[in-house]
Amino acid sequence: MSRSTEDYLKLADRLADGENLTDEELAGILLSEDPEFDAYLSQEARRVRERVYGKDVYLRGLIEYTNYCRNNCRYCGIRAGNRNAQRYRLTEEEIIACSDAGYELGFRTIVLQGGEDPHDTDERMSRIIRRIKERHPDIALTLSIGERNKDSYQRMFDAGADRYLLRHETASPEHYSLLHPAAMSYEHRMQCLRDLHEIGYQVGCGMMVGSPGQKTEHLVQDLRFLQSFRPEMVGIGPFIPHHDTEYAHCQPGSVRLTLRLLSVIRLMLPEVLLPATTALGTMDPKGREKGLLAGANVIMPNLSPTSVRGKYLLYDNKICTGDEAAECIRCMTARVSGTGYQVVQSRGDHVRYDADGESPA
Ligand code: SAM
């Protein structure tokens, strides 16, 4: 169906009013080529984000502590089958030192992210979590270490972990099985997300934009999933090919579509914590600033030691692989100010959680 600019603007108003659009209307929004609509949609998304979170931007200090992974996601540069990846694993002491350095720099959320490293037993992870939380009780600790069983998630939560990022990758089982080998299951990933919520984590899910085989209808399914699951955080970024994967020659995802999705997600889930991702900054030098202006309110600078930065390569041409953490935070603070927003030193919890990260529910 062809729509006029006026039709599109009405769709944006209805989204901003919390109306539930039809699949066809959502698909129309994603497929629009109308620049006036883009501008209006992002303005509405900013209005909603400012109503909930003001002009604040939360920083998350990201420690990419291992690139060992037992999985073979077809799109990912650190997949187990990539023999060219230079593997590394930070020691417990190195992880603690990074989080101390992050705290000194003002971070009040630390994110531990890694491949699914068989070395990461519940004992090791719980010990690391406890040690970090003992040293810095006022931070939020986020984990992003993949699929585990509910008991394991519970043990890490009991040790002090507050949040968990596990992108659902795609809400279509068929598309999921195209992107992943048969050993990985859509049902299990979704079960993990439900388990995490039940335990009490603030949960983040999300998808790549423009991943191989992705159709507009898949993105509409993703939006429907986000609407029903109601995650506290949503991480989306463009798919970017990695030269050592079978998708090396695929087209990367579009920055414009990623920005539009950020705005749509902000309007659908006004309270969500929404990062402007490194992948967005990799595809466009101003990608993260554009993400903030499209409704995002979180930035995740890298805290990993520079000696390993260049080895956590999920995709080609990743930015910020050479900068010291202090330099990253200076650079991001300046970039954020340039958008009219401000970096704040805060845990930056979802509004449904109080200052201790407790859910009132
Ligand atoms: N192992 C954990 C997991 O599975 O959630 C965390 C690490 S995983 C590498 C983090 C995210 O990177 C994935 O959820 C995926 O969406 C993203 N990613 C992987 N390869 C990518 C690529 N080629 N382009 C863009 N994003 C990618």
Structure confidence by residue, pLDDT tens digits, 62-72: 999 999 999 99
Indicate if ligand 1 lies below 6 Å from the C-beta of 192: no
- Token reading at 178: 């195209």
Indicate if ligand 1 lies below 6 Å from the C-beta of 129: no
Q: How far apart are CA 224 and CA 213, in angstroms?
A: 19
63 beta partners? 112
Residue 58 carries which DSSP code? E
Ligand 1 center from residue 170 Cα (angstroms): 12
pLDDT of residue 60: 97
Q: Quick: pLDDT tens for 130-163.
A: 999 999 999 999 999 999 999 999 999 999 999 9
Indicate if ligand 1 lies below 6 Å from the C-beta of 186: no
Ordered by start, the domain boundaries in the chain are: 55-344
For residues 51-61, average pLDDT: 97
Q: Quick: pLDDT tens for 199-213.
A: 999 999 999 999 999
Q: Which amino acid is at 137?
A: P
Q: Quick: pLDDT tens for 238-288.
A: 999 999 999 999 999 999 999 999 999 999 999 999 999 999 999 999 999
pLDDT of residue 326: 87
> Does residue 361 surpass a pLDDT of 60?
no
Indicate if ligand 1 lies below 6 Å from the C-beta of 208: yes
> pLDDT category, 322, cuts 50, 70, 90?
confident
pTM of the full structure: 0.97
pLDDT of residue 93: 98
Mutation test of ligand 1: which of 75, 163, 166, 302 has the most ligand atoms closer than 8 Å to its C-beta?
Answer: 75
Among 265, 194, 270, 202, smallest CA distance to 236 is for: 265
For residues 26-34, average pLDDT: 96
Q: How far apart are CA 67 and CA 73, in angstroms?
A: 13
Q: Quick: pLDDT tens for 215-225.
A: 999 999 999 99
Ligand 1 center from residue 75 Cα (angstroms): 8
pLDDT of residue 1: 72
Do 305 and 19 contact (CB within 8 A), yes or no?
A: no
- Select the more confidently predicted residue: 1 or 291: 291
Q: Which residues contact 70 (CB under 8 A, 6 or more apart)?
A: 80, 115, 116, 117, 118
> Does residue 359 surpass a pLDDT of 80?
no
Indicate if ligand 1 lies below 6 Å from the C-beta of 243: no
**Which of 3.40.50.880, 3.40.50.1370, 3.20.20.70, 1.20.950.20 is the CATH number of 55-344?**
3.20.20.70
Q: Work out which ligand 1 atom sits closest to the CA atom of 165.
A: 5
Ligand 1 center from residue 275 Cα (angstroms): 14
Ligand 1 center from residue 175 Cα (angstroms): 16
pLDDT of residue 194: 98
Task: Quote the Cα angle for 37-41-43, to 5°.
Answer: 120
Indicate if ligand 1 lies below 6 Å from the C-beta of 144: yes
For residues 185-207, average pLDDT: 98
Ligand 1 center from residue 321 Cα (angstroms): 17
Q: For atom 4 of ligand 1, which residue has the closest CA? A: 146
Mutation test of ligand 1: which of 314, 317, 319 has the most ligand atoms closer than 8 Å to its C-beta?
Answer: 314
Mutation test of ligand 1: which of 64, 71, 76, 125 has the most ligand atoms closer than 8 Å to its C-beta?
Answer: 76
